[in-house]
Amino acid sequence: MKRFAIFTLAATICGFVSQARAEDMQLTCVISSAELPQQNLVIQVRDGRIFYGATASSLVSADTIDKGSLAITKSRIAFKQSWADTKVQWDWNIDLDTGDIGIRYINLVNKKQFLQKKGSCS
């Protein structure tokens, strides 16, 4: 019992347990950058997993989320995705209190950001 309590405390501090407590939700977002046109995005949290797509009927699972990067709390959703083939990482951050969303694109070779999209969700 003591070992479980220590694990639970450590997991809570590290954010591992926060996704289990997350309520299912769906957000409709509009994002853009100076370099690219405006884009519609639907993000859904279901059973502690992330799904997204251009419309609610085209949602796909975000199975490429980097292990250990998913944090879902009452006020925030954050995760990282990366693809070895493209050497690009996406850093997602959604503030559920303000509705602000930010996605940073990072080159994994030189660790530099090369694009950032911002927007709002409701």
40-74, pLDDT tens digit by residue? 999 999 988 899 999 999 999 888 888 889 999 98
Whole-number CA gyration radius for the chain: 16
- What is the pLDDT, as a whole number, of residue 92? 96
Of 48 and 30, more confident: 30
CA distance 40 to 81: 19
* Residue listed under structure tokens 């999209």: 117
Domains of the chain: 23-121 (2.40.128)
Q: What predicted TM-score, i.e. pTM, was given to this entire model?
A: 0.77
Mean pLDDT, rounded, for 15-19: 43
- What is the pLDDT, as a whole number, of residue 22? 62
